[in-house]
Amino acid sequence: MHHVYLLHLLIIWIAVGIAGRIADRTRLTPVLWYLFAGALLTNLGWLPSEPLPFVKGVAELGIILIMFALGFEETTENFISAMKRSWGVAFFGAVAPFFTAYWLALAFWDDQGIALMCGLAMTATAVSLTMVSLRSEGLSRSRAATGIMSAAVLDDIASLALVAVLVPMAAGNAATGPADIAWIMGKVVLFFVIVVIVTSWIFPPDIKSGIIRYVPWLRDVGISHLLQMSGGTQVTLVMMLVAVSLALLGELLGFHPAVGAYFAGLALREEYFVAKRVPDHNTYERARHIIDDMAFSWVGPVFFVVLGGSLLFDWSLVLSVSWMAVGLFLALFVAQVLSAGLAARFTGGFTWRESVMIGLGMLGRAELAFVVMGIAYLQYPILNDAAFYTLMLTAALLNIAVPLSIRWWKPWYEGRRPLPAWMGERRDIDPSPALGEAVPATPGEEVPVSDDGDSGRPSEG
């Protein structure tokens, strides 16, 4: 039986290699081709629609690695700043697609339960798809990327709570009581409290304040000591222990494991990789290279191939619902980009270039969307076949739109093409630096601070 596991993994890795080559030739993000490869291989019968446990395990490890690597590239300060600015993006960017999908589903099938599940499935953003697409364009550390990530995390938290509340209602079970809702919110708070304790009191060496300073062992030993064990040769092992531990904690408290992995990467700072006694011994770059190689070259892509493999089509049914899927896709595209983009501009103080990129980056639907679809189609008899395939097609179209639209908007985002005059921004301003970084101005030009909070970005009009 083991040869079957290895054969399936071999087929997937061959597809990953071919997809990577096609991505180089077409100058599109590899994620798009990974999804296409998975769908093609499954529908041709070369891979099963339900992946074998071994392959599924590699795929789950892949998404953990991807999100850990993306968090590892980001800084805690940037993420917290973006979280404060992204509450409007998270709220309006979730409410608009929820009600868009809800009302259209109600018009299509005239069923309250189906409408609720369609709205819920189309609410949470597939942040891994967006972040990998941004990374392939060299924008993973931009202000827009941190805004998308922080808003998506808030969306995921809200979506997890809604899953617990709305699924029993749509299934016709007893309504969820206040105690159940309070327990869900309590787990959310507990997760973030544990993350703060770990990152603020346990990871840093030489604790100078707080209750931990009275505990001798914890006071003197931080994560940097573990990263430097055996001369730094076990740095990757220690990093994976941290990533999987927080991923398991997140899953235990109701999150997707990828959320915990992202915060694990976010918590590991570059200074932890510098040996205290030998300052020149810095294992950060080597560790980052190893993690990036696993996440984006050979382990992480398995997740996207398996995800694409979930699109097993009954072609007659697909054709019959295709007009509904296209209609839902177009409505969600407009609602998502407008709601998230306008919220980013007017509640978060992002520039127009960043706001449009944030709106486009919030289009993807993957992990939570498929979880909701699976629950509502397989576990509970809520979605009928037509609604399920409509959602699957819509999610596929939205996922395809993410890398294409990000690449399309990149010239405007980087200032290589001028924005419309009504947006009132200069074409020579580069909005790509992450939060907290200085933004270079045109040579010889002073950089004033604008009234809307966009420090370092001159505006006109």
User: Residues 431, 434, 435, CA angle at the centre, nearest 5°?
Assistant: 100
Q: How far apart are CA 123 and CA 93, in angstroms?
A: 8
117-121 mean pLDDT: 90
322-340 mean pLDDT: 95
What pTM did the predictor assign? 0.69
Lowest mean pLDDT among 11-25, 178-192, 433-447: 433-447
The yes-or-no verdict on residue 294 having pLDDT over 90 is: yes
Give 443's pLDDT tier (boundaries 50, 70, 90): very low
394-416 mean pLDDT: 89
Query: How far, in Å, are 227, 267, 307, 396 from residue 399 at the CA level?
Result: 37, 29, 11, 5
Q: Which CATH class is domain 2-413?
A: mainly alpha
Ordered alpha helix ranges (H), 171-234: 178-197, 216-220, 223-227
Tokens of 293: 């190689």
Give 123's pLDDT tier (boundaries 50, 70, 90): confident
Give 275's pLDDT tier (boundaries 50, 70, 90): low
Most confidently modeled range among 148-152, 201-205, 402-406:
402-406
The yes-or-no verdict on residue 35 having pLDDT over 70 is: yes
DSSP three-state, residue 350: coil
Domain boundaries, the chain: 2-413
Token pair 């969820």 is found at 176
The pLDDT assigned to 23 comes to 83
DSSP three-state, residue 61: helix
Give 233's pLDDT tier (boundaries 50, 70, 90): confident
The pLDDT assigned to 365 comes to 82
297-322 mean pLDDT: 85
Q: Give percent helix, percent strand, percent coil of the chain, each to the nearest 5.
A: 70, 0, 30
User: Could you give the maximum distance between any two Cα atoms of the chain, in Å?
Assistant: 69
Lowest mean pLDDT among 142-156, 256-270, 445-459: 445-459
Query: How far, in Å, are 323, 364, 397, 433 from residue 370 at the CA level?
Result: 21, 12, 14, 33
Question: pLDDT > 90: what percent of the chain?
Answer: 25
- In terms of Cα–Cα distance, which of 69, 73, 63, 83 is closest to 148? 83
The pLDDT assigned to 222 comes to 66
In sequence order, what are the beta bridge partners of 274? 282
- In terms of Cα–Cα distance, which of 433, 430, 431, 451 is closest to 442? 430
Q: How far apart are CA 358 and CA 144, in angstroms?
A: 6
Per residue in 140-159, pLDDT tens?
Answer: 888 888 888 888 777 776 77
Per residue in 167-176, pLDDT tens?
Answer: 766 766 545 5
223-242 mean pLDDT: 82
- In terms of Cα–Cα distance, which of 357, 400, 294 is closest to 29? 400
Most confidently modeled range among 284-298, 310-324, 373-387, 447-461:
284-298
Query: How far, in Å, are 77, 80, 277 from residue 21 at the CA level?
Result: 36, 37, 44
| Long-range Cβ contacts of 316-319 (<8 Å, 24+ apart) | 317/385, 317/386, 317/389, 318/389, 318/393
